[in-house]
Chain A
Amino acid sequence: MPSARVDKPIESPEELREALLVLHREHEAVSIGAAQSQTLLDALESLLTIDPSDDPFAQVFDALRKAFTFSQALMLAETAGDDLECIVAEPASLVHTRWPIDSQFRKVLGGRVVATIASTISDGTPGPAAPGLNSQQSALYLPVRVRERRGILVLLRAPGLEGFDRNHVALARKCSLLASHALATRVASQTEAESRSLRELTTQLQLSEQVAKRNADLLNEVVNVLPVGLTVQDADGRLLVINDAAAALLGRPAAALRGTAPHDLQGTPELVELEQWSHRERMESLGQRTEERTLTVRDKPVTLLTTCTAVRIFDERLLLSTSLDISDRKRFEDELSRRAFHDQLTDLPNRELMHELVDQALRANARGGMFALAFIDLDNFKQVNDYYSHAIGDRLLIEVSRRICEHLRPGDRLARISGDEFLLLISPLDERTDLPPVINRVVDALKQPFTIEGHRLLTSASVGASIFPLHGDNYETLRRCADSAMYRAKRDRKGSATYFDLAMDTAMTARMALEQRLRVAIRERRFRAAYQPKVRISTGEVTGFEALVRWVDEDGTTYLPGSFIELAGELGLLDDITRFVLWDVERMMPELDARYGPQCSVSINLSPRQAADVVFMQSLLDQLSESGLARRCVLELTEETLGTTDHFQRDVLPRLRAHGVRVSIDDFGTGYSSLSTLTDITADEIKVDRAFITAIHERPRSQGILKAIESLCLALDISMVAEGVETAEELAYLMNHTAIDIVQGYYFSPPVLVEEIPLSFTPAAG
């Protein structure tokens, strides 16, 4: 800078003074300028050689510290919002503080250097967010700009120090460029670092993407080969994921289904709305939800077992569903169910289902209403089976069921509950008078002949009916009432119908009372055997006893079998009673042996059902074998047992023979097929029914029959026993005119308990 007046001689002290002042001022300006230039050069050089990892503002702060005296320095940069953020600071605690842009900052951002005078920094002081700042600090603000990025370099003096002057302001204008360069360096460094980081991130992303893609492909393949259908739907029901199995279940390609929603379904608006509602309900369900759905796919019903779970993944509500085609299983279950509740022969509901149907009717009519239950039993069906064959019998049952159904009202239900027994639920029943027409149609229809395999069969059915609520309020009671009525019909007039009434109610009540007492007696073992001797009339010796059951009540009353044995048979209690008898015999045998010798036999009566029951018979044989009574035991069976039960002949009789148990045909001569029985069965003994013995000495026809039986037994080597010998005349006739040697009857002794048996039997009279 050229100084003034240097080319002009100084002529006065004033000029000298002025020249000195000028020189001094110029020198000062040059010195300051040189120092500032050097400061700037040093700072710029340090910026140019700065390590990329170092922050250039650290260099800038160091450089500026030489020219400006400051205690704190901050670099504020514009943010995307309406404020500034401190990106570099000394002290570092101020980094990230936010500074609102006030009018002063706006001026600085516009390019002006501002020094504060009032010992107050900008109104934009961030307050509590800027720890360590004091409102009494003088500040110098330098505008910083790199392309579109603007900022403010803030230099703060410690409180108490004089503020920045205009020389600082002038220098700051120059240093503004330095700060801008530092910011550019920093941005470039950051940009480079960001680029490097971005490249690394890109590489990682690519790797991750490859892994993710592989995983996704793998997952996709796994999902596709899953044996169950898998779908993922969004909140609107749109299918996001659907695997091949699910698509196959729906009968369309997965690609065609992906992206579709319930409203895309082809169906009625109601169906679409229902599907949308269902989807919403599933979405709102908590936890897992399993349901069975039957769809029509390619005109075939497909049953799906679907498990849905509403989940939230990545803030999206999704519905995960797995579906399994259970059509085959469903059909199998249905078949099992049908078999469990239907009669296989007639395909009618069975006993269990009828029970359920009646229960449903009970519930439906619980608040009023009426229905009826009819018990239908074919008359003489056994004869059909016996005469024709079981196959014909089965066909008859089928035709009977069809014919009954043809005469029912809609809603009436027929069930086959056993052999030839049917239950008919007639519901609803508005009036009692509505019942007979229905029943009569059935009864009449069954009287019409059936033609089966060329055979013309005539049959009938006995029907008993009960009415809810008149005769009972539960299935069992109603069935029993109908059963009783049916028995009454069968007893009174087969092929007719009887309606349960008060008398039957009374009888049934009595029967029920008896049943209760009988069950109690069995539980308390109140059965004993009464013994009636078999006497050899030629010698008077006792050859054996027939053990006859007696029910000895708690009060000592003794009941004969006729009062309870039929009911016991119906209730399935006979086996127990038979065992009681056998136990009594076992217990008494030592006593009998002692009195009558070990040759005495004991006869025990069995019902036809027991004789045909292989299991029971085996247990009986086991008991006899264990007690050593097998070879001394005679089982008395009726002709019916021996003639009609295949099981007995095939399975039981050989076992009896093997154990040495003898068989006696009881009540011989009263059955339909006595003679044919003897041709088929090798009996050890026959007991001629008392009907032939009573007053035989006065009845020539009985005498002839007896001679024929005697002749037959003699031919077949079967011993004979005459039952019911009660008079001396009868005994005399047998002794004098027949070869019968063993008799049994009141003439010698009624059946008595073992303690009442005499040591020897003599004729009761004459």
Chain B
Amino acid sequence: MTQLHVHAASGVDTRDVLTLLDHELSGARGSAHLVFAFYGCDHDDAALHEYLSRRFPGTPVIGGTSSGGLITHQGVFDETSIGVLVIDDADGDYGVAAGGLGADPAQSAEDLLQRALASCGCGGELPELIWVYQAPGHEEAVIEGLRRVVGDRCPIVGGSSADNDVTGKWRQLGPDGPLRDGLSIAVLFPSRAIDCAFQGGYEPSGPSGIVTGIGYEVHGESGVVTAASGREILSIDDAPASSVYNRWIGGRVSGKLEEGGTILAETTMCPLAVDAGSVDGVTCFLLVHPESVRAGGALTTFRELQVGDRIYAMKGDRLRLIDRAERVVEQARRGLSAPRSGIAGALVVYCGGCKLAVGDDIGKVATAIANGLGDAPFIGCFTFGEQGRLLDRNVHGNLMISAVAFGC
């Protein structure tokens, strides 16, 4: 039988929080086979790791910083909080490996996946699910590395660690401690059913255009220029990308076109999207969250785009961002289709940008998720990028909600 236990505590001082957390955990029964930990970026995650290693010796740990706090079935916890999700599944196998992304994030991801599999004695086996937590910026490469091993034959779910103000204080937690610019990968072989869902809650607002220019970087020592894809869109329909985008969203970032700057908050409700395929003629969109505008007219995003991609202007609203969370976890829950399966709990990755957009209604998000799970325990973290399975493909997106439901 699989059981999930979620505990969270808040406090400025990490040790105080850990004391509280330990008090909570002391009352829990069972044993731990995988521990997820999410915390505010100001916490001493080395101390957290030390505590977890002591509290759950030999148990794999994965997690990292969450933007602006976290949510659980008990409600909202602020940015000073630490939350843990403990999976108790003696009949399952769980492994974690973590390391730096390095110069070749794809290769790092591939290597870490093999290590994670080996760590739980499942080398060579297709896991039920791969859950990743990583530094933002190379998500596509990480997924590509993982897909080299498993393709799209099992879900790759997770999020990109985040800080509170996009200042780069995000970190990742792995079996050997916290990491910067790292990647932590968990492989899950639960004894009970598991399923996941990945959605964005936005609609095309009308405009769209073709990416015609991507900012490039010299690739390696050879000096080869790669300009086919990237996160810096130079032009849309041969016009400066930032200007085109600004026009599509009604001039919401006009003030930053000249000098450039972060536009996360302004664009949360009006991101871009690419066509991710269609269902019965209805297009599904993969959201792309613009991060900033550059002085030269370029537009940076939290997701790579390619020259030739058609990008769409999207629109959303707070209420949908709240309701959407419930629908995502419901969908994941329904995937636990075995008749005997109840739900043990869930792990939710909620876009940090959306959280900013939801604002003080984030508590409603937690409530919605709790409703969707039927009061099963869950923990939700806020990220700067989400990974999940969309139309049978493992993808990285923005402004998404990615949920994993565990059967019991």
The residues of A with any CB-CB pair to B shorter than 8 Å are 1, 4-5, 12-14, 16-18, 20-22, 24-26, 29, 33, 103-104, 107, 112, 114-118, 120, 122-123, 162-166, 169
Given the interface contacts A14-B202, A24-B279, does A166 sit within 8 Å of B128 by beta carbon?
A: yes
In whole Å, how far is B403's beta carbon from the nearest beta carbon of chain A? 14
Residue of B nearest to A14 (CB): B203
A166 and B190 CA atoms in complex are apart in Å by 12
A162 and B334 CA atoms in complex are apart in Å by 27
Cβ-defined contact, A20 with B203, below 8 A: no
Cβ-defined contact, B121 with A14, below 8 A: no
Residue of B nearest to A28 (CB): B392
Interface centre among A17, A115, A165, by most chain B C-beta atoms within 10 angstroms, is A17
Cβ-defined contact, B153 with A165, below 8 A: yes
Given the interface contacts A4-B327, A12-B203, A117-B153, does A169 sit within 8 Å of B128 by beta carbon?
A: yes
Cβ-defined contact, B121 with A103, below 8 A: yes
Chain A residues near B121 (CB, 8 Å)? 103, 107
Chain B residues near A5 (CB, 8 Å)? 327
Given the interface contacts A4-B327, A169-B126, does A17 sit within 8 Å of B282 by beta carbon?
A: yes
Having A104-B122, A163-B153, one finds 5 other A-B pairs with CB under 8 Å, namely A24-B279, A104-B125, A107-B121, A165-B153, A166-B128
Cβ-defined contact, B202 with A117, below 8 A: no
Q: Which 8 A-B pairs have the closest CB atoms?
A: A165-B153, A115-B126, A117-B126, A118-B124, A24-B279, A14-B203, A20-B279, A166-B154
Cβ-defined contact, A166 with B280, below 8 A: no
Given the interface contacts A14-B203, A18-B199, A117-B153, does A104 sit within 8 Å of B284 by beta carbon?
A: no
| B265 contacts the other chain (CB 8 A) | no
Given the interface contacts A18-B199, A115-B125, does A164 sit within 8 Å of B153 by beta carbon?
A: yes
| B149 contacts the other chain (CB 8 A) | yes
Cβ-defined contact, A20 with B280, below 8 A: yes
Given the interface contacts A4-B334, A21-B279, A22-B331, does A14 sit within 8 Å of B153 by beta carbon?
A: no
A295 and B125 CA atoms in complex are apart in Å by 83
Chain A residues near B327 (CB, 8 Å)? 4-5, 18
Residue of B nearest to A140 (CB): B126
Cβ-defined contact, B279 with A117, below 8 A: no
Chain A residues near B128 (CB, 8 Å)? 166, 169
Cβ-defined contact, A14 with B201, below 8 A: yes
A21 and B285 CA atoms in complex are apart in Å by 12
A13 and B283 CA atoms in complex are apart in Å by 10
Per-residue A-contact encoding for B131-164, CB less than 8 Å = 1, 0 else = 0000000000000000001111111000000000
Per-residue A-contact encoding for B187-214, CB less than 8 Å = 1, 0 else = 0010000000001011110000000000
A24 and B121 CA atoms in complex are apart in Å by 36
Residue of A nearest to B316 (CB): A14
Cβ-defined contact, B151 with A162, below 8 A: yes
Chain B residues near A120 (CB, 8 Å)? 124
Cβ-defined contact, B320 with A14, below 8 A: yes
Task: Give how many B residues have a beta carbon under 8 Å from the other chain's beta carbons.
Answer: 35
| B337 contacts the other chain (CB 8 A) | yes
Residue of B nearest to A167 (CB): B153
A620 and B159 CA atoms in complex are apart in Å by 150
Chain B residues near A118 (CB, 8 Å)? 114, 123-124, 149
Per-residue A-contact encoding for B107-123, CB less than 8 Å = 1, 0 else = 00000001001000111
Chain A residues near B79 (CB, 8 Å)? none
Given the interface contacts A18-B327, A115-B126, does A165 sit within 8 Å of B203 by beta carbon?
A: no
Chain B residues near A103 (CB, 8 Å)? 121
In whole Å, how far is A106's beta carbon from the nearest beta carbon of chain B? 10
In whole Å, how far is B407's beta carbon from the nearest beta carbon of chain A? 12
| B330 contacts the other chain (CB 8 A) | yes
Cβ-defined contact, B337 with A21, below 8 A: no
Cβ-defined contact, B280 with A117, below 8 A: no
Chain A residues near B201 (CB, 8 Å)? 14
Cβ-defined contact, A165 with B124, below 8 A: no
Chain B residues near A14 (CB, 8 Å)? 201-203, 320
Cβ-defined contact, B126 with A165, below 8 A: yes
Per-residue A-contact encoding for B6-34, CB less than 8 Å = 1, 0 else = 00000000000000000000000000000
The residues of B with any CB-CB pair to A shorter than 8 Å are 93, 114, 117, 121-128, 149-155, 189, 199, 201-204, 279-280, 282-284, 320, 327, 330-331, 334, 337
Cβ-defined contact, B153 with A162, below 8 A: yes
Cβ-defined contact, B282 with A117, below 8 A: no
Sampled A-B contacts (23; CB under 8 Å): A1-B334, A1-B337, A4-B327, A13-B203, A13-B204, A14-B201, A17-B284, A18-B327, A20-B282, A21-B279, A24-B280, A103-B121, A104-B125, A107-B93, A107-B121, A117-B127, A117-B150, A117-B153, A118-B124, A164-B153, A165-B152, A165-B154, A169-B128
In whole Å, how far is A703's beta carbon from the nearest beta carbon of chain B? 156
In whole Å, how far is B43's beta carbon from the nearest beta carbon of chain A? 35
A104 and B122 CA atoms in complex are apart in Å by 7
A14 and B312 CA atoms in complex are apart in Å by 14
A1 and B204 CA atoms in complex are apart in Å by 30
In whole Å, how far is B271's beta carbon from the nearest beta carbon of chain A? 13
In whole Å, how far is B318's beta carbon from the nearest beta carbon of chain A? 14
Residue of A nearest to B127 (CB): A117
Given the interface contacts A1-B337, A162-B153, does A116 sit within 8 Å of B280 by beta carbon?
A: no
Chain A residues near B117 (CB, 8 Å)? 117
A21 and B202 CA atoms in complex are apart in Å by 14
Chain A residues near B126 (CB, 8 Å)? 114-117, 163-166, 169
Interface centre among A107, A115, A164, by most chain B C-beta atoms within 10 angstroms, is A115
A29 and B338 CA atoms in complex are apart in Å by 12
Residue of A nearest to B151 (CB): A162
Contact of A21 among B124, B284, B320 (CB under 8 A): B284
Chain B residues near A163 (CB, 8 Å)? 126, 150-151, 153
In whole Å, how far is B268's beta carbon from the nearest beta carbon of chain A? 16
Cβ-defined contact, A26 with B153, below 8 A: no
A163 and B152 CA atoms in complex are apart in Å by 10
In whole Å, how far is B148's beta carbon from the nearest beta carbon of chain A? 10
A1 and B337 CA atoms in complex are apart in Å by 9
Chain A residues near B127 (CB, 8 Å)? 117
Interface centre among B121, B153, B334, by most chain A C-beta atoms within 10 angstroms, is B153
Residue of B nearest to A121 (CB): B124
Residue of B nearest to A118 (CB): B124
A25 and B126 CA atoms in complex are apart in Å by 22
A627 and B119 CA atoms in complex are apart in Å by 135
A154 and B145 CA atoms in complex are apart in Å by 28
Cβ-defined contact, B124 with A117, below 8 A: yes
In whole Å, how far is A500's beta carbon from the nearest beta carbon of chain B? 114
Chain B residues near A164 (CB, 8 Å)? 126, 153
In whole Å, how far is A2's beta carbon from the nearest beta carbon of chain B? 9
A33 and B331 CA atoms in complex are apart in Å by 17
In whole Å, how far is A757's beta carbon from the nearest beta carbon of chain B? 141
Chain B residues near A13 (CB, 8 Å)? 203-204, 282
In whole Å, how far is A523's beta carbon from the nearest beta carbon of chain B? 114
Interface centre among A1, A18, A26, A122, by most chain B C-beta atoms within 10 angstroms, is A18
A107 and B283 CA atoms in complex are apart in Å by 42
Cβ-defined contact, B203 with A4, below 8 A: no
A25 and B392 CA atoms in complex are apart in Å by 10
Residue of A nearest to B204 (CB): A13
A26 and B279 CA atoms in complex are apart in Å by 13
In whole Å, how far is B81's beta carbon from the nearest beta carbon of chain A? 31
Given the interface contacts A26-B334, A162-B153, A169-B128, does A17 sit within 8 Å of B279 by beta carbon?
A: yes
Chain A residues near B282 (CB, 8 Å)? 13, 16-17, 20
Interface centre among B124, B127, B149, B155, by most chain A C-beta atoms within 10 angstroms, is B124
Residue of A nearest to B149 (CB): A117
In whole Å, how far is A18's beta carbon from the nearest beta carbon of chain B? 6
Cβ-defined contact, A104 with B124, below 8 A: yes
Residue of B nearest to A22 (CB): B331
A169 and B195 CA atoms in complex are apart in Å by 13
Residue of A nearest to B92 (CB): A112
A169 and B127 CA atoms in complex are apart in Å by 10
In whole Å, how far is B102's beta carbon from the nearest beta carbon of chain A? 21
In whole Å, how far is B99's beta carbon from the nearest beta carbon of chain A? 19
A512 and B370 CA atoms in complex are apart in Å by 149
